[in-house]
Structure 1
Amino acid sequence: MAKSPYLEALERDGFVVIRSALKPQEVQELRSSCQKVTANARAGKWPNVRTLPKQFPPWNVEEGHNPAEAGIWGVQGLMHPSMLDHELFTATYFSDTLINPTKELLACSDDELVMELFNLLVRPDHDFELRWHRDDISDKATPEEELERLNKPAWHTQWNLALYDDASLIVIPGSHTRARTDAEREADPYAKGLEGELHVQMGPGDIVFYNNNILHRGAYNSEKERMTLHGSVGHVKGESLRARNVLQHGLRDWIGQCDFSRVPESGRERAEGMRKRLIELGMKSGDVGYSLEG
């Protein structure tokens, strides 16, 4: 069976952009909800935020203090039952718009999918950049260790869905299939102009699916509005390889309470199955720790 053009692009480049996946009215509805969610988070009324200047979890917050006091660059847990408009976010996550390309990229069926993460990346309170990294491989890994992990199937899709123009994601196409070059290893962690680097240009309603172990970073402008939905969907064969990436974000405590009321009836069985498989993954994974530090 021939591979789809999306899968061919993902395997070749490490990412693929799907243009205008959302209709303008869908973008506007999500913008409205994200604006409320972000205002709530900046006011210290939602504890699960990505705090400046920290890049990776855990984003520890001192009890009794506004978690957004030092500024934020993301809001975690859009499907949490206490999140504003969680019904809309949950319906979006399980929608055909996101799930159909996922099945195409994973070459799988509904009953092999696993519910994972759904978060929001926002305009930071001051300019902020992420260092070059792979999401599940330490920057201290040797070339042999990198290749050992890169040669394993990804068993997930990861994606950014832009609600405004967004060129924050910077990637090095093809780097998901090889170890870092000597120049990449020796470069400043925030280096600009690495050979082959590409700013992924996205418009409202565009989705980029990317291998989370592609060499990538982010650069965020505090004066440019940003609301980009950021999520992932797993494959049952990912098991422990995906457990750490997903469960380090604290989903165990609330996934059983997700509200599927706005998920269309035709997709509700799929959503229930995806949640069930994540719960099973959590039960057998134990303490997974954290993928990266910093």
Structure 2
Amino acid sequence: MTSTTPLPSGEELRTSLARDGFVRISNAIPHKDLRDFREAATRATSRARAGQWPYVRTVPKQFPPWPVSEAASHGIWGVQHVLHPDMPDPDRRVFAESYFSETMITAVTALLQCSQEDLVMELYNMLVRPPQDFALRWHRDDIPPSASPKEEEERLQHPMLHAQWNLALYSDSSLIVVPGSHARARTDMERTADPYEDDMPGQTVVKMAAGDLVFYNNNILHRGVYDSKTERMTLHGTIGLTAVDPARARNILQHGIREWAERCDFSDLPDSDMAVLAQGMQRRLIAMGTGGDVGFSQPD
């Protein structure tokens, strides 16, 4: 996956992310490559809907853990762990090639102002069309709604130790954000609003064309609104830095990734440089996951 459109400069990416809390890169997946991605995504989604893939996000639950036993009766809105060693090939390899691609790594190192040797493999999932219309409540990924304004301000001052993104395989307008809210505590209105408020002051719908890549601060005030009549397959991932704090480790490890990370084999990636990069990021993830139970970031 190499974008045919020149990437914005690192300064442009960082400025937009710092100001707005999100930044869009158009045509990160060239249109000629979309077919391969869509075919892999369709197969993975079909397996998950048929109960042949146990790692899913079940409707209507917003945060982990997601009970796979409810997938058949309630449906799914996400396919988890697309880098898992049990994901059949060629699908696993297609997903891995996007995760460790030159476009992705160039953008992430620019945003985090780091070298490739600092990067940690984290999450790679896929958000898909649910069987019925479904919405998430307003939230920040790692700051609970019960946090006081002072607690929010303290947490939001922590430096960015990861990059988080959505990579759309079809047009996607599901992500709704309040620009700038990643840098401040919630207003009184935001704090007391209905969790599913459809008209939050200042909200913006992040519109993505197929192939677009959007990075966003995971503690921006945001929600997802999913239309059951519109196809959706959006790869949703994170890459981290070695200098993690306990909150970041919890946000990643709560998804169960350390249970299978050691079994990953990236030796079949297209070139040796990508394979070496992937293996180094894998080792740093395993090192992060050697502690005890981290719990969950959010109540659900």
**Structures share fold, TM-score greater than 0.5:** yes
The aligned residue for residue 5 of structure 2 is none
Whole-angstrom CA distance in 1 between matches of 2:246 and 2:125: 21
> Relative to structure 1, is the Cα distance of residues 263 and 137 closer, same or farther in structure 2, using a 3 angstrom cutoff?
farther
273-282 vs 87-96, which deviates more? 87-96
Letter in structure 2 aligned against 1:49? V
- Of 3, 10, 31, the match for 1:24: 31
3-state DSSP of counterpart to 1:99: helix
The aligned residue for residue 12 of structure 1 is 19
Is 2:172 the partner of 1:179? Answer: no
- Superposition RMSD in Å: 1.2
- Of 109, 117, 139, the match for 1:111: 117
Checking the alignment, whether the CA contact within 8 Å between 2:162 and 2:239 is kept in structure 1 is yes
3-state DSSP of counterpart to 2:239: strand
Q: Deviations over 1:157-214 (max 9, x none)?
A: 0000000010100000000000000000110000011111000010011000000000
The aligned residue for residue 50 of structure 1 is 57
Checking the alignment, whether the CA contact within 8 Å between 1:239 and 1:281 is kept in structure 2 is no
Whole-angstrom CA distance in 2 between matches of 1:263 and 1:172: 39
Whole-angstrom CA distance in 1 between matches of 2:282 and 2:137: 32
3-state DSSP of counterpart to 1:120: strand
Checking the alignment, whether the CA contact within 8 Å between 2:10 and 2:107 is kept in structure 1 is no
Is 2:149 the partner of 1:146? Answer: no
Letter in structure 1 aligned against 2:87? M
Is 2:71 the partner of 1:67? Answer: yes
- Following superposition, the deviation at residue 240 of structure 1 comes to 2.0
Checking the alignment, whether the CA contact within 8 Å between 2:56 and 2:66 is kept in structure 1 is yes
- Following superposition, the deviation at residue 3 of structure 1 comes to 5.8
- Following superposition, the deviation at residue 273 of structure 1 comes to 1.0
- Following superposition, the deviation at residue 263 of structure 1 comes to 4.4
Whole-angstrom CA distance in 1 between matches of 2:279 and 2:119: 11
238-247 vs 212-221, which deviates more? 238-247
% identity of equivalent residues: 54
- Of 212, 228, 243, the match for 2:218: 212
Unaligned stretches of 5+ residues in structure 1: none
> How do 1:181-260 and structure 2 match up within 5 A?
181-260=187-266
TM-score, length-scaled by structure 1: 0.96
> Relative to structure 1, is the Cα distance of residues 205 and 189 closer, same or farther in structure 2, using a 3 angstrom cutoff?
same
Letter in structure 2 aligned against 1:271? A
Whole-angstrom CA distance in 2 between matches of 1:51 and 1:5: 37
Checking the alignment, whether the CA contact within 8 Å between 2:269 and 2:275 is kept in structure 1 is no
The aligned residue for residue 4 of structure 2 is none
Q: Deviations over 1:129-176 (max 9, x none)?
A: 000000000000000000110001121000000000101000000000
Whole-angstrom CA distance in 1 between matches of 2:197 and 2:12: 32
TM-score, length-scaled by structure 2: 0.94
- Following superposition, the deviation at residue 258 of structure 1 comes to 1.4
Q: Deviations over 1:47-80 (max 9, x none)?
A: 1110001000000234xxx733311000001001
Letter in structure 1 aligned against 2:44? V
The aligned residue for residue 82 of structure 1 is 86
Checking the alignment, whether the CA contact within 8 Å between 1:90 and 1:259 is kept in structure 2 is no
Letter in structure 2 aligned against 1:5? E
Checking the alignment, whether the CA contact within 8 Å between 1:158 and 1:211 is kept in structure 2 is yes
Report the count of equivalent residues: 289
Moved over 3 A (4+): none
- Following superposition, the deviation at residue 238 of structure 1 comes to 2.0
Is 2:276 the partner of 1:273? Answer: no
Checking the alignment, whether the CA contact within 8 Å between 1:24 and 1:205 is kept in structure 2 is yes
Checking the alignment, whether the CA contact within 8 Å between 1:44 and 1:69 is kept in structure 2 is no
